[in-house]
Amino acid sequence: MAIALCNPEIGLWYRDIQNRLFEVVALENEDSIEVQYYDGDVTEYDRESWDLLCVNIVSEPGSNLGFYEETLDEEGMVSLDKLKTISWDNVVGDIET
């Protein structure tokens, strides 16, 4: 039996095992979790169903968050270079390339 990797929190974004993005929009008591998928669909889960989803917390879609590395250019000025993000979908393939 798969177990959710995290508890639901309003305002956080999650990705399920089918690669669908959704945000928790409401928690009614301990047993009702309302989510809105990235495409706009709204669904409600009971706690038992949530625990079977196997979800991970992700950053908000469209938020341009990323990691940057400070480097010095030829004039000694600091510039920020965006680091390559790692996709956890194919970690072994990323390591080999």
Q: Residue 19 and residue 73: Cα distance in Å, rounded?
A: 39
> Residue 65, SS3?
coil
Residue 38 lies in a domain: yes
Domain limits for position 54: 1-88
Q: Name the β-bridge partners of 70.
A: 80
Residue 94 lies in a domain: no
Q: Which two tokens stand for residue 88?
A: 């956890």
Q: What is the pTM of this model?
A: 0.59
> Residue 7, SS3?
coil
Query: Domain tally for the chain?
Result: 1
Residue 72 lies in a domain: yes
Max CA-CA distance within the chain? 59
Q: What is the pLDDT of residues 40-57, one digit of tens each?
A: 899 999 988 988 888 888
pLDDT reading at 79 higher than 80 = no
